[in-house]
Amino acid sequence: MAGKTSTNTAGKPIRCRAAIARKAGEPLVIEEVIVAPPKSREVRIKIICTSLCHSDVTFWKLEQPPAIFPRILGHEAVGVVESIGEGVHEVVEGDTVIPIFLPDCGECTDCLSVKSNLCSKLPFSVSPYMDREKTSRFTDLNGETLYHFLFVSSFSEYTVVDIGHVTKIDPQTPPNRACLLSCGVSTGVGAAWKTANVETGTTVAIFGLGAIGLAVAEGARLCGAKRIVGVDVNQDKFELGKKFGVTDFVNSRNCGDKSVSQVIMEMTDGGADYCFECVGMSSLVHEAYASCRKGWGKTVVLGVDQPGAMLTFTSFEVLHSGKTLMGSLFGGIKPKSDIPILIKRYMDKELQLDEFVTHEVDFEDINKAFDLLLEGKSLRCVIWMKSD
């Protein structure tokens, strides 16, 4: 997979193709763009392949801020370093890398601690610019600024990413599997492995069996969970979930006069040890919290709800239940140290990644990837860029 770079392009602008979101909800337009050379602590990457995540679709549809257009979306990817800016010593030209939306500067208190993956030096935000300088590296052929997305913008043949968002990986890793670890799969697996620290022989309940929910199941399976209960409105998700270790299924539309939490409490004789909310609905967070066992139950929130969505718990409930409610951004994964571990586990045939890829398309057909996800037909669609 190791790629060759064109050393004669270092320090110069590169003209290449990118799929641009020019208006909310309208098909992406493939155009030629100019990608500026990397500045200090930045890396220019030639993208090999990228995959489509629900977050891309969410921001493609969004009409109000933090939406901004024209924008180059995409944040799950793998590529090869084409050139590096001043002060970059972590990678060299030709290295195979994964760009990741969540930074890992390796210097701040959080990045140096095993307890956190929330960098303080480069705090996460939905910014349309580079992390440090707050400017763009993309322009169209008319000179108009094209905005970045989640510090990655992988729907372009070349992109510029801050070194804090770049993780070097084993070049032998298949690119159409490695790209999945940029966001969704790592988030789910990490939530079980790192955030919840699921113990062997325990019971897990997962609310929402999309790609992230299924990745939670895979993480719980790897941790040795004895029972994994999937909750979804789509009955077909049970058969799919079985591939990732789901042992039981609750169709939330078929619970009769009982709530989902009542059903799970009965199934598990007092509640699940760990519950994961993977949809992004405050009502489901409450159901997940109600479904976990008193005394030691943990509820982990992974789903992205509407900004301003509120959760309401009585102080009596919090005090007397002894439960834990926690958030998990990127599954608690520390990109530069944990992603290589996940890749090794995949290469050792422990971690399942192949089953997440339901479709693969060429870059020219990128809008088909959006259609497949919108129609509920794909978990992950890998988009291949051109090969020189």
Residues 270-290 have a mean pLDDT of 97
Q: Encode pLDDT of 203-238 as tens digits.
A: 999 999 999 999 999 999 999 999 999 999 999 999
CB 2 within 8 A of CB 140: no
Residue 4 confidence (pLDDT) above 60: no
Q: Encode pLDDT of 32-81 as tens digits.
A: 999 999 999 999 999 999 999 999 999 999 998 899 999 999 999 999 99
Residue 273 confidence (pLDDT) above 70: yes
88 assigned to some structural domain? no
Q: Which strands, in side-by-side order, build the sheet including 14-20?
A: 14-20, 29-35, 138-140, 145-146
CB 275 within 8 A of CB 251: no
pLDDT of residue 7: 61
Residues 98 and 206 in one domain: no
pLDDT of residue 42: 98
Residue 306 confidence (pLDDT) above 90: no
Q: Encode pLDDT of 149-195 as tens digits.
A: 999 999 999 999 999 999 999 999 999 999 999 999 999 999 999 99
Q: What tokens does 286 get?
A: 């409450």
Query: Which of 122, 139, 158 is the endpoint of a domain?
Result: 158
Residues 108 and 154 in one domain: yes
Residue 387 confidence (pLDDT) above 70: no
Residues 244 and 133 in one domain: no
Residues 339-361 have a mean pLDDT of 98
345 assigned to some structural domain? no
Residues 131 and 212 in one domain: no
23 assigned to some structural domain? no
Range of the domain at 310: 185-331
Supply angle C-alpha 146, 148, 152, rounded to 5. 140
226 assigned to some structural domain? yes
How many domains would you assign to the chain?
Answer: 3
Q: What tokens does 140 get?
A: 């169209």
Q: How confident is the model at residue 2 (pLDDT cuts 50, 70, 90)?
A: very low
Residues 242 and 282 in one domain: yes
How crowded is the C-beta side of 101, counted as CA atoms within 13 Å?
28
30 assigned to some structural domain? no
365 assigned to some structural domain? yes
pLDDT of residue 3: 43
Residues 283 and 323 in one domain: yes
Q: What percent of the chain has pLDDT over 70?
A: 98
Residues 135 and 201 in one domain: no
Residues 223 and 276 in one domain: yes
Q: What is the per-residue DSSP string for 222-254?
A: HHT-SEEEEEES-TTHHHHHHTTT--EEEETTS
Residues 206 and 130 in one domain: no
Domain with residue 259: its CATH number is 3.40.50.720
pTM: 0.95
36 assigned to some structural domain? no
15 assigned to some structural domain? no
Q: Encode pLDDT of 310-337 as tens digits.
A: 999 999 999 999 999 999 999 999 999 9
Residue 5 confidence (pLDDT) above 60: no
Residues 380-386 have a mean pLDDT of 95
Residues 324 and 383 in one domain: no
Residues 154 and 194 in one domain: no
Residues 207 and 290 in one domain: yes
